[in-house]
Structure 1
Amino acid sequence: MTANGRPQAPLMTNTHADRVKEVARLAGRPSRLRRREFLAEGPQAVREALRLHLTRHEAGQDGVVVDAYATAEALERHTDIAELSGHDGAPAVRLVTADVLAAMSSTVTPQGFVAVCRFVDVPLDDVLSASPRLVAVLVEVRDPGNAGTIIRAADSAGADAVILTGASVDPYNPKTVRSTVGSLFHLPLVLGAELDGLMEGLRDAGMTVLAADGYGSTSLDDLQDASAQRRFATVRTRRAGPGGDAPSRRPSGDAASPGPGDADGSNGSDAVGAADSTTVRLEDAGAWLFGNEAQGLPADVTAAADARVAVPIYGSAESLNVGTAATVCLYASARAQRLR
């Protein structure tokens, strides 16, 4: 019997069983799109999938996990996953041999767990209507690892959503799912967004649109410095009390500095999208645009943004990886918003 009193299914040992083949097919995009299901592999991803499943079940919504599989050894090491699967509304974890799990998995060395999950993306209107404060937008980001890293960084920074444009990588690609390390199940995900309508929608939702651009005319350092100056000025004014002298504030100048070229550079002129660090405020609701690994953001996209922001490079590196640049930018906004 399982922990919640359900009969224990027999151990799966046949690597050629139809069920095993059906699970394995989800490594391919056609099967994923047809079934609107994907693979979550490894203990962290399966754990977070089950947690989201139970949260939705308690709210009277459809669950996320369709089936879950694990080796006996893995289930013994991760007793918390066994406990999660024992809750009412959660699917029981089916025991399989290591060979069966390997046949299901898309990895050479699976970590003992595989779950079949339903797609978790949501409509763009659901995100915009929720008054988001921080959003990451992937514009034609093609590398699964980079996309997964940005989703994980957005989750870590407390972002409200991640939006992928139509030409971006499939976030349900097994490599992308693995690189999110469970963050895919933590925040809303929007797929196939059209840039024209998206930019308008973000602004209608009260968000400043920031293009991460290695050739941007505004330095992220300047935006952070200006945010800190406003914060300290506010604190000093409050301490001075009514009638006290308010400290003067000198705005930081714009800095045109090379940044993450391969991550988000463009060939537009520095005048396009230029913004003073007193008019673009990190503490305000913001949507960061991150571009293709090789070409960066298209010129028309950077031109339509409220600011083109460069991450300064102090050493000799030619550029920053888009995942690294996204992490720096998202955390800069997150910190400014938390301290506003």
Structure 2
Amino acid sequence: MATQRITTRNARFQQLRTLLDNRTKRGRAREFLVQGVRPISMAVEHGWTVRSLLYAAGRPLSRWAEELLRGTSAERVAMAPELLAELSEKSDGAAEVLAVVEMAPDSLSRIGLHDGFLGLVFDRPTQPGNIGSIVRSADAFGADGLVVTGHAADPYDPKSVRASTGSLFALPVVRSPSHHEVMAWLEEERGRGRPVAVVGTDEHGDADASEFDLTQPVLLLIGNETAGLSAAWRERCDHVVSIPMTGSASSLNASNAASVVLYEARRQRIAKLRTG
């Protein structure tokens, strides 16, 4: 495949630049920018479509980068180092390789429901870094997927992609306009004999997370960083759990709270397996 070269701030560079900070144009193009060796490697490993690989013209490449370029059919783009550095958003210079990756479809069918289902909803998050952090924790603790609902930050924002440290490519992450689509999906699955408990998280929950049975199929709800669970989601909760705390803190931030409850779910499930 022929290599495209970018040495000036031409139209092609400007198009790539918009992937950093223009959500609308990312969405229209159905593509996003991936920075970092691990995230790029995870995207390839999990079968995501890599449209372009960007690297610095005239600089030697590592074995990893050479194998990456040989192993994919992606467009190759050799860039002036200073332009690549701008897209890299690194304080210590340009990354060796950046990738332009095609977005996954926003279909709830990507998230498989089963007897041990553990899923999450993050409702109306405002900080993309929090989305990425929750994706990372969800992947680490064995969740099946994350749904981002409402008017929310973008999971494909570079801050979210970086915070996920590659887990975005291992865990299904789906954007949904509202709770309606999620509940319709759950009702359809319930009709097939797959009941899922909808469990909200709130500082004023009905029970501590450690006292609630998280070994059953469950969809955990994480509310907005400031406002918490919306009234619409709260009405649809089968249960609401809280995290017991001491000290002067009244709550945890959204990503920390999600990690605690995910860990508790994982702990309970491991204990159940051990006891039979």
**TM-score normalized by the length of structure 2:** 0.85
Code of the aligned partner of 1:124: L
Q: Report what 1:112 is aligned to.
A: 96
**3-state SS of the aligned residue for 1:211?**
strand
Find the counterpart in structure 2 of residue 202 from structure 1: 186
Following superposition of structure 1 onto structure 2, how do residues 1-340 of structure 1 map, counting pairs within 5 Å?
9=3, 12=5, 14-27=7-20, 28-53=22-47, 63-71=48-56, 75-76=61-62, 79-87=63-71, 89-91=72-74, 94-106=77-89, 110-128=94-112, 133-202=117-186, 204=190, 205-223=194-212, 281-340=213-272
SS at match of 1:332: helix
Take 1:74 and 1:323, find their aligned partners in 2: how far apart are those partners? 39
What is the CA-CA distance between 1:221 and the residue it aligns to?
2.7
SS in 1 for 2:220: strand
Asked whether the 8 Å contact 2:123–2:152 carries over to 1, the reply is yes
What is the identity, as a one-letter code, of the residue corresponding to 2:149? Answer: T
**Counterpart contact for 2:199–2:238, Cα < 8 Å:** yes
Which amino acid is 1:34 matched to? R
- Alignment gaps of 5+ in structure 1: 1-5, 54-62, 224-280
Cα distance change on mapping 1:206 and 1:102 into 2, 3 Å = same
CA 1:98 to 1:141, structure 2 compared with 1: closer, same or farther past 3 Å? Answer: same
Give structure 2 stretches of 5+ with no counterpart.
Answer: none
Amino acid of the structure 2 residue aligned with 1:23:
L
Larger Rg: 1
**1: CA distance, partners of 2:241 / 2:66:** 46
Give 1:300 deviation, angstroms: 3.7
The offset of 1:94, in angstroms, is: 4.1
Is residue 121–residue 221 contact of structure 2 (8 Å, CA) maintained in 1? yes
RMSD: 2.5
**Displacement, 1:69?**
1.3
Scaled by the length of structure 1, what TM-score is found? 0.70
Distance of 1:44 and 1:134 partners within structure 2: 25
Report sequence identity in percent.
Answer: 30
Other structure's SS at 1:214 match: coil
Say whether the 8 Å CA contact 1:121–1:189 is kept in structure 2.
no
- Provide the rounded CA distance (Å) in 1 between the counterparts of 2:98 and 2:202: 38
Offset of residue 25 of structure 1: 1.6
